[in-house]
């Protein structure tokens, strides 16, 4: 998946007062769409999911030497893992049932079911959900819900692309740093590409991903995180420096 | 006390409720699934029994089932007779008459299921039927209970439609409400009262069940 463009998107849509106009090619294993609130980041993901009413949209996936158009397909046929910004957990299911939602739709026979459960177990481990597996969404904190949201997206059978909207919002930083290497390992194993959305500079830099910078519904830059977010990086270092200076010395 | 009429009434209400849930569920899912003019028109037609006098509805159903009509001819070919003045004729009339009492709660229930939950399920690979079965139906449980209870209670109490379609044949089409009417006609007020108490009790228990369950569901938190 890392070699060459794996997905491409062209979209024009009116989202409230915002005119979203973007044309993008995704080549990196992990792409971060970065921008301020209201810049159209989530709408971009929704356009890929087929959840946004667009004036024009063209969304395609590389398949062999050709391209498979996805924009004409219903959402459930696009082979996507999706974690929306609001966790949107199914309230009548336990944590485990939520995570297993996608895998338990069509397993035929005992072997297929067993295999599906193994994938669910692996996701429960990666996102540290074992202790919560019998709880209902009502009993979870924001960070816990978000981890279930992520785990559920990771177990979609046959998924080719993960779309994660503010995936680590509310997740404890220590836990995030612990989960991230295992997530990346899993993605590599399954040859899965990720497009995530964030407004957190630190997160964008941490992921070492390609960054698409979105402002006012338009793409203003695309490239390596350290280049696209150079200004923010300098500002962040200055802030950290200032904070360090303000710490009383010995 | 006219026990055969009571038995017939409960059998009619039970059968009507079952048929109604089967008919109203897909209809309500379709109505709740969009907002086009066709949906609004069907919704208005479904709600007609709420405002039409039952005798008008019964009259058209009776005329519609007559042997001279297309429906009547099909019925005679398939079941051997027109359904008028039979138990199944009453069922058809009751289903039409109580349709809004099943469809409206179901449409409300289906529409109230969070759109984001349905969309997320869909992107995660669930087709429309799976989303309906695994997300919408479980989160609309109270609406199913409400639809069933209202349809049952409404059928127990109906009078005009059953009288028009079924007449007053003891053991075949004479329901409890018709039996009460007959008793009053004969100035048998004590007998009418005994039967009316049954209707009041059945209706009260049904509604109490709905409100009690509703309070429990509300008390147990959000439905997403």
Report the range of poorest mean pLDDT among B110-124, B125-139, B204-218: B204-218
Whether B179 has a pLDDT exceeding 70, the answer reads yes
Which residue of chain A is at minimal alpha-carbon distance from B221?
A138
Confidence grade of residue B218 (pLDDT, cut at 50, 70, 90): low
Task: Output the pLDDT for position B110.
Answer: 93
Q: How far is CA A136 from CA B2, B102, B128, B223, in A?
A: 51, 30, 24, 12
- Note whether A102 contacts B: Cβ–Cβ < 8 A: yes
What number of CA atoms fall less than 13 Å from residue A75's CA on the CB side?
Answer: 24
Which residue of chain B is at minimal alpha-carbon distance from A105?
B126
The answer to whether B126 contacts A76, with C-beta atoms less than 8 Å apart, is: yes
Confidence grade of residue A243 (pLDDT, cut at 50, 70, 90): low
The answer to whether B116 contacts A86, with C-beta atoms less than 8 Å apart, is: yes
Whether B222 has a pLDDT exceeding 60, the answer reads no
Dihedral-angle region of residue A2 (phi above 0 means left; psi in -120 to 50 means alpha; beta otherwise): alpha
Report the range of poorest mean pLDDT among A231-245, B7-21, B58-72: A231-245
Chain B residues closer than 8 Å to A89 by CB? 224
- Note whether B80 contacts A: Cβ–Cβ < 8 A: no
Q: Which of A91, A99, A162, A165 to mutate to test the interface with B (most CBs of B within 10 A)?
A: A91
* d(C-alpha B57, C-alpha B158), whole Å: 12
- Note whether B15 contacts A: Cβ–Cβ < 8 A: no
Average pLDDT, chain A: 87
- When mean pLDDT is compared over A162-176, B33-47, B109-123, B194-208, the highest value belongs to B109-123
- Note whether A113 contacts B: Cβ–Cβ < 8 A: no
B143: CB partners within 8 A, 6+ apart = B105, B106, B108, B109, B110
Q: Which of A85, A94, A105 to mutate to test the interface with B (most CBs of B within 10 A)?
A: A105
- Note whether B222 contacts A: Cβ–Cβ < 8 A: yes
Among candidates A136, A172, A69, A142, which has minimal Cα distance to B221? A136
pTM of the model: 0.80
Task: Output the pLDDT for position B122.
Answer: 95
Task: Output the pLDDT for position A229.
Answer: 81
Task: Output the pLDDT for position B219.
Answer: 59
Residue B187 DSSP one-character state: T
Among candidates B177, B2, B174, which has minimal Cα distance to B90? B174
Per the structure block, which two tokens stand in for A179? 């989960």
Give per-residue pLDDT as tens, A111-156: 878 888 888 999 999 998 999 999 999 999 988 999 999 999 999 8
* d(C-alpha A235, C-alpha A205), whole Å: 13
Among candidates A115, A81, A100, A99, which has minimal Cα distance to A193? A81
User: Of all residues in chain A, what percent are helix, strand and coil, respectively (each to 5)?
Assistant: 40, 25, 35
Nearest to B117 among A49, A76, A88 (CB): A88
Confidence grade of residue B63 (pLDDT, cut at 50, 70, 90): confident
* d(C-alpha A93, C-alpha B91), whole Å: 38
Query: Which residue in this structure is represented by tokens 């209706």?
Result: B203
Per the structure block, which two tokens stand in for B82? 């027109």
* d(C-alpha B174, C-alpha B152), whole Å: 17
* d(C-alpha B76, C-alpha A137), whole Å: 56
Say if residues A17 and A31 touch (Cβ distance below 8 Å).
no
Q: Are strands A193-198 and A161-165 parallel, antiparallel or unpaired?
A: parallel
B37: CB partners within 8 A, 6+ apart = none
Phi then psi for residue A59, to 5 deg, are -130, 125
Task: Output the pLDDT for position A231.
Answer: 74
Segment B99-124 mean pLDDT: 93
- Report CA torsion sign: A33, A39, A42, A46: negative
Element (H, E) at B168: none
What are the DSSP E strand ranges found in B57-193? none
Task: Output the pLDDT for position A244.
Answer: 57
Residue A83 DSSP one-character state: E
Nearest to A156 among B124, B135, B221 (CB): B124
Say if residues A207 and A160 touch (Cβ distance below 8 Å).
no
Give per-residue pLDDT as tens, A14-45: 998 899 999 999 999 999 999 888 899 999 99
Whether A159 has a pLDDT exceeding 50, the answer reads yes
H and E: helices and strands count for chain B:
11, 0
Report the range of poorest mean pLDDT among A81-85, A109-113, A211-215: A109-113
Q: Which of A59, A70, A76 to mutate to test the interface with B (most CBs of B within 10 A)?
A: A76
- Note whether A73 contacts B: Cβ–Cβ < 8 A: no
Task: Output the pLDDT for position B35.
Answer: 81
Q: At what angle do helices B189-219 and B3-32 cross, to 10 degrees?
A: 30
Say if residues B15 and B7 touch (Cβ distance below 8 Å).
no
Give per-residue pLDDT as tens, B132-161: 999 999 998 888 888 998 898 888 888 888
Which residue of chain A is at minimal alpha-carbon distance from B128?
A76
Give per-residue pLDDT as tens, A58-68: 999 999 889 99
Element (H, E) at A69: strand A66-69
Task: Output the pLDDT for position B68.
Answer: 80
- Note whether B219 contacts A: Cβ–Cβ < 8 A: no
- Note whether B127 contacts A: Cβ–Cβ < 8 A: yes
Confidence grade of residue B223 (pLDDT, cut at 50, 70, 90): very low
Whether A52 has a pLDDT exceeding 90, the answer reads yes
DSSP readout, A155-215?
T-TT--EEEEESTTTTS-HHHHHHHHHHHHHHHHHHT-EEEEEE--HHHHHHTT-EEEEEE
Task: Output the pLDDT for position A2.
Answer: 45
* Strand-pair partners of A214: A219
| Alpha helices in B112-170, H assignment, sequence order | 115-123, 128-131, 141-157, 160-166
Say if residues B32 and B111 touch (Cβ distance below 8 Å).
yes
Chain A residues closer than 8 Å to B137 by CB? none
Q: Are strands A210-215 and A218-224 parallel, antiparallel or unpaired?
A: antiparallel
Whether A206 has a pLDDT exceeding 90, the answer reads no
Task: Output the pLDDT for position B224.
Answer: 42
Chain B residues closer than 8 Å to A101 by CB? 121, 124, 126, 134
- Note whether A138 contacts B: Cβ–Cβ < 8 A: yes
- Note whether A53 contacts B: Cβ–Cβ < 8 A: no
* d(C-alpha A4, C-alpha A172), whole Å: 34
Say if residues A210 and A32 touch (Cβ distance below 8 Å).
yes
Chain A residues closer than 8 Å to B130 by CB? 105
């Amino acid at each position: 998946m890392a070699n060459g463009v794996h997905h491409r998107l062209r979209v024009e849509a009116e989202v409230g007062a915002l005119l979203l106009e973007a044309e993008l090619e995704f080549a990196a294993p992990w792409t971060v769409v970065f921008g301020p609130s209201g810049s159209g980041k989530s709408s971009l993901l929704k356009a890929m999911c087929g959840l946004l009413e667009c004036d024009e949209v063209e969304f395609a996936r590389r398949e062999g030497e050709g391209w498979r158009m996805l924009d004409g397909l219903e959402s459930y046929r696009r082979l996507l893992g999706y974690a929306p910004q609001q966790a949107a957990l199914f309230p009548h299911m336990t944590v485990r049932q939520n995570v297993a939602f996608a895998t338990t739709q069509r397993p035929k026979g005992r072997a297929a079911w067993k295999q599906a459960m193994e994938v669910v177990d692996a996701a429960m481990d990666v996102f540290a959900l074992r202790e919560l597996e019998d709880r209902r969404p009502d009993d979870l904190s924001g960070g816990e819900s978000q981890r279930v949201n992520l785990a559920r997206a990771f177990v979609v059978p046959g998924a080719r692309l993960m779309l994660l909207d503010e995936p680590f919002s509310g997740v404890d930083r220590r836990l995030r740093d612990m989960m991230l290497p295992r997530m990346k390992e899993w993605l590599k194993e399954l040859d899965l590409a990720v497009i995530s959305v964030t407004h957190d500079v630190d997160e964008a830099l941490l992921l070492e991903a390609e960054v698409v910078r979105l402002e006012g519904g338009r793409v203003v830059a695309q490239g390596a995180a350290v280049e696209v977010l150079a200004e923010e990086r300098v500002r962040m270092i200055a802030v950290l420096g200032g904070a360090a200076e303000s710490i009383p010395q010995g | 006390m006219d026990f055969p009429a009571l038995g017939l009434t409960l059998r009619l209400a039970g059968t009507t409720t079952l048929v109604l849930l089967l008919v109203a569920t897909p209809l309500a899912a379709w109505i709740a699934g969009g907002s086009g003019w066709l949906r609004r028109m069907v919704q208005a037609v479904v709600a007609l029994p709420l405002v039409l006098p039952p005798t008008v509805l019964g009259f058209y159903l009776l005329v519609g089932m007559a042997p001279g009509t297309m429906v009547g001819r099909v019925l005679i070919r398939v079941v051997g007779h027109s359904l008028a003045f039979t138990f199944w004729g009453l069922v058809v009339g009751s289903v039409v008459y109580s349709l809004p009492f099943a469809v409206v709660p179901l449409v409300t229930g289906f529409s109230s299921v969070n759109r984001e939950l349905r969309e997320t399920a869909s992107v995660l690979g669930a087709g429309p039927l799976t989303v309906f079965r695994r997300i919408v139906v479980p989160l609309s449980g109270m609406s199913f209970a409400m639809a069933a209870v209202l349809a049952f209670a409404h059928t127990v109490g109906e009078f005009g439609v059953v009288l028009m379609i079924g007449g007053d044949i003891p053991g075949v089409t004479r329901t409890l409400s018709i039996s009460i009417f007959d008793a009053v006609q004969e100035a048998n007020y004590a007998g009418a009262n005994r039967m009316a108490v049954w209707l009041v009790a059945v209706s009260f228990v049904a509604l109490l069940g709905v409100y009690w369950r509703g309070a429990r569901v509300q008390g147990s938190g959000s439905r997403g």
